[in-house]
Amino acid sequence: MKLNIKISWLLMVALLIAGEGCKKVLVEQPRATIDPDYFRTPEGLEGGITGIYSSFRSHWGTQIFTQLFNGGTDEMIRGGAADVQHNFTYSSLMKSNTNDYSGLWNSMYIDINTINGVLQFGPDAQMDEDKKSQLLAQAKFLRAFCYFQLVTTFGDVPLHLTYNTEAVAADSRTPIAGVYDAIIKDLQDAAAELPNQPASGLGKPAYKATALYLLAKTYLWRGWSAAAKGSDFTDAFNTAKSIIDNKSTYGLDLWPVFAQGFLEGNEYGRETIMVIDHNKDLKFGENSQTGTGAGNLKENKSNFFFRPNYPTVNANYPDAGGAYICVRDVQNGRPWQRIRPNMRYVLNVAFANRTTDSRYDGTFQTIWLSNSVPGSVKGTSGAATPRGTLVNGIDTAIWMADRVVTPAERAAFRGIIFEPDYLPGATVPYTSLLYPSLRKWDDSTRADMNDYSDRPYILFRFSEVYLIAAEAALKGGGTLQQAADMLNVLRIRAALKPGQTPDQYAAAVAAQTISPTEVTLDFILDERTRELYGECNRWYDLSRTKTLVARVKQYNDEAAANILPQHMLRPIPQQQIDLVTEGPAFPQNPWYGN
């Protein structure tokens, strides 16, 4: 939702008080609560919904959250400056660091209590009935969204559907069957009431397709779980297919070229279903002053985390000496090196076909052009290497090759060539600091090279609807032919590359088209990597499909020794457990805790 709405100081205070009311159940620290009558006002309804959307900035695109849910999978391993390293390796330190997850837990429950207030008392608000109906439908979607994040992360979680005003020190976990039932009920109601397209001028708040997307994904998750119902995969397939069949009604479609989905300016475009909004406004965007180094915890720093330390490559690399061949600038980004691609899986398996599939090039930056200083004038002289002087803006200073190059290629190349570290014969291999960079979140509009990104964070994409449908069909909700058809839509889209002749494109389409016999769970998981790499889905995908252990052991050397089935759930924050002091103890998930 595009949060350019200016919330008054009084309303901000009210929302904070409402949040503390929820904390009394889940963190057991009583605070003053807002009078429920506040939710009976138009301001209470609008402020509550706006505050929930704003709160999501605390997670997607932020530093720890991004590492917690991308690390420890087949796709990604630690960068040289990773923070929560125990999360990448599943070391025993995860047991004593369960509060890594308290931010998500607490925020979701604060939001849920606010939503409960909106839904419980909002129907009494004296305002335009149509507008009120839409706000209440938004609230149902948002409550389902919050519980979906909780149940898919932690398993059994407390289910509270009424506004809390009383301090209690007891709580318990509701079996996932009950939580899924509540999510599905809210999403069905929201889908029936929300408009076909988002309201104009508001970015992308929830609309019918948003609710249907999450409903399809919830059916898919429940179908894999112990709470499964016989129709879940069929319901997931049919719901996803209904979005596809009615895409024009919802204003949705795929971009012709894969990379267009993440081009700056396309964040609210045809392929986006939901975003986490950000903007440049220091007061309402919750951002740092430009040029101060991006210190606010809610800022979108996704443009930092996946970037290698390219400014450290000197003209004689890997030997010392010589000028740096590429300096830090806005275009190339701030190199935080938190997360790097697990190239043994990424190059060797998921993106093995880079000839007819454009998604590797659309996902990763592999070349850095020479620049002597930030903003170097194109055509001026750059650093001198043993093979010649680089020309700024024209010569490639750094090339992250996808293969081992020949000695002749290296001798003819003025810059530095890196090669995949898993390949025999690599003479200048990738390292934990130097590797291909995820390009999806790049932001060239920043005023300072160290600034946060004010781009909206794309959370739900239309392309994933095809992947949900394919997985549901594979699991019995449809046929293998239907699964192949869904995947082929994305694969044929990926066949289009710049500069192709018609014959080359036709050959690429033929190469990309798969038959029903090729559809397996592993193929779909690889396809999800090709389409969704770096979008904070991977741990969830492997957890849902019960493949986390097998795929980490197969592909991720740094986590293989420690990975266990219990890691398909994340730990309950210890602060939640400690603050339940009445009644039965609040249970931790197996393996975690002291």
Give how far Cα 289 sits from Cα of 293, 323, 379, 446, 449, Å.
8, 32, 34, 12, 13
Give how far Cα 469 sits from Cα of 121, 240, 243, 377, Å.
37, 6, 10, 49
The amino acid at 86: H
What integer best gives the mean pLDDT of the chain?
A: 90
Q: Which two tokens stand for residue 295?
A: 């210190």
> What is d(CA 347, CA 334) in angstroms, rounded to the nearest whole number?
24
Spelled out in words, what is the top-level CATH class assigned to the domain 1-183+558-594? mainly alpha
> What is d(CA 71, CA 69) in angstroms, rounded to the nearest whole number?
6
Is residue 101 helix, strand or coil? Answer: helix
**Bridge partner list, 438:** 364
Give how far Cα 395 sits from Cα of 26, 323, 589, Å.
57, 15, 53
- Parts of the chain with a pLDDT under 70: 1-34, 201-203, 279-297
Instruction: Pick the closest to residue 421 from 411, 431, 406 (CA basis).
Output: 431
CATH 1.25.40.10 boundaries in the chain: 195-277+456-532
List of residues 6+ apart from 490 with CB closer than 8 A? 254, 463, 466, 467, 527, 531
| List of E strands, 251-395 | 272-276, 339-341, 364-365, 367-369, 381-385, 388-391
Question: What does the pLDDT read at residue 22?
Answer: 36
> What is d(CA 474, CA 469) in angstroms, rounded to the nearest whole number?
9
> What is d(CA 5, CA 574) in angstroms, rounded to the nearest whole number?
36
> What is d(CA 213, CA 530) in angstroms, rounded to the nearest whole number?
20
Q: Which two tokens stand for residue 283?
A: 């007061």
- The answer to whether 305 and 311 have CB atoms below 8 angstroms apart is no
CATH 1.25.40.890 boundaries in the chain: 1-183+558-594
The amino acid at 568: M
Round to the nearest angstrom and report the end-to-end CA distance of the chain: 40
Please report the sign of the dihedral spanned by the C-alpha atoms of residue 302, residue 303, residue 308, residue 311.
negative
Instruction: Pick the closest to residue 563 from 542, 544, 534 (CA basis).
Output: 542
Calculate the dihedral angle through the C-alpha atoms of 522, 523, 526, 531, rounding to the nearest 10 degrees: -140
Using one digit for the tens of pLDDT, what is the confidence trace for 334-378?
A: 999 999 999 999 999 999 999 999 999 999 999 999 999 988 999
Instruction: Pick the closest to residue 82 from 70, 74, 97, 92 (CA basis).
Output: 70
Fold held by 195-277+456-532? 1.25.40
Question: What does the pLDDT read at residue 1?
Answer: 40
Instruction: Pick the closest to residue 75 from 535, 568, 533, 381 (CA basis).
Output: 533
Instruction: Pick the closest to residue 571 from 170, 101, 85 (CA basis).
Output: 101
Q: What is the distance, to the nearest Å, from the Cα of residue 361 to the centroid of all Cα atoms in its chain?
A: 19
Question: What does the pLDDT read at residue 285?
Answer: 55
List of residues 6+ apart from 283 with CB closer than 8 A? none
Please report the sign of the dihedral spanned by the C-alpha atoms of residue 265, residue 269, residue 272, residue 276.
positive
Cis peptide before 318 (omega within 30 of 0): yes
Q: Which two tokens stand for residue 593?
A: 């805790």
